[in-house]
Structure 1
């Protein structure tokens, strides 16, 4: 069963429902924005069910599928996704590439390769931010108005959910705050499979 965009609650609605309760000792590097609260969502859902313009896959360097969310997206999209991915010559860590969505309800799949936390060390935040920013730019360049991110690098790649959500939120905020970007996207959705990742976002949202 597909989940249409108008059924995905925005932060504005989540505030009204008192679903967001930031931790008192956590201070984001930016203030809340009512404009952006109408554009951003945090949900826990199977990302392959979202009827949005683009979903962001937590891919590996080969882009040829794997376990977890990556495997689920490839299975739901059908074999044509793998066929297209074979033409892309892989992807560097911290970047992303875009394909069609094929049998998915989303029009496009953006394959982002997040960092392995223990391997990249101090570069992890920069590389993870690169995944989010490149994905956002690819969405805009390809005419996508809505984009849903999986929780990049927080699974087997070991990135702590709290730190990862901070990077994600701050990168998206900086992107949308740029002068020519505020109207480029109507919705940005952080779609989590695990409760720990959803909780992390709710803790760090101002």
Structure 2
């Protein structure tokens, strides 16, 4: 039985989530390849080799699925979420599945929760009916996010599936998603400009050599 969410909680966390495009593909690849063996197991539900990750990233369809990320000040991707829209015969086309990974340096500050809330808000405003999460039952981080969001969690043979029925968004949710998106873009642009200025300064700066 699905649990219904009439109004998914608005994102009040200061973590800024950016909707990613193909221009961020190398940052996504670097993030996923940096995950430890254990983190890869939790993210993909299996031992994922570098080749598996390379093939996974190469399969991305930015025109079909939606991707979100959180960047640190150095523009390293430390949180990544993949919102995949269902196209199988077993599920309707208004279903989506959420997958997330957070770098070790970004844990404990709500990045995973922020990514989930951003994805859920996007689902509301895109007429997605049900949001799924499928992971190992040992993935305590994902289980915490799912239960916190009020998802129904079912466990079987070491795996877990959580689902939440989401009703369509309203004007308030549309405005909120738009504002959150604009703020994240501005934040990324500021960080990008700072990194460019920093690189230029380092190239221009030549320390004096004393004899």
TM-score band w.r.t. shorter chain: 0.3 to 0.5
| Structure number with larger C-alpha Rg | 2
Bigger strand share: 2
